[in-house]
Structure 1
């Protein structure tokens, strides 16, 4: 698995699941630490997006989907696809 925004999202969802586990819940302080690190990563991603806009770049490795090869070719005028998944 590559380290990108999808990785951050998955770790946060895993942390939430661990917190909700009634038999063996994650310690609250550890969950806070995970959330703090994730917040810093998201903040850095925001800076990266600002840089992309300012420099005219077309993207970044951190923002790419895990498997860019499976992305469909988009018709003219369509710049991206946003997928939402509820687990």
Structure 2
């Protein structure tokens, strides 16, 4: 999120090529998540290996 804020800073913006590289990496991450969700759906699984769940809070709360 800090990177997105940097893109909006008119006084010190990040270079366009760096912004494009960041966007490309973000696209790969989103596409990987989509593939994993589809894999879990097709194989009727509830947990994947790519994205780990957040640790449980004390007392069983999420």
Report TM bin, short chain: 0.7 to 0.9
TM (norm. structure 2) is: 0.75
Structure 2: where are the runs of 5+ without partners? none
Please name the residue that 1:50 is paired with.
38
Higher-Rg structure is 2
More helix by share: 2
Structure 1 position 39 matched with structure 2 position 41? no
Deviation (angstroms), 1:23: 2.4
Q: 1 CA distance for matches of 2:34 and 2:52?
A: 10
Q: 1 CA distance for matches of 2:53 and 2:14?
A: 30
Please name the residue that 2:53 is paired with.
64
Give the number of equivalent residue pairs. Answer: 59
Structure 1: where are the runs of 5+ without partners? 1-12, 74-87
Runs of 4+ in 1 over 6 A off after TM superposition: none
Q: Secondary structure at the match of 1:33?
A: helix
TM (norm. structure 1) is: 0.57
Structure with the greater relative contact order (CA < 8 A, sep ≥ 6): 1 or 2?
A: 1
RMSD: 1.9
Deviation (angstroms), 1:31: 0.7
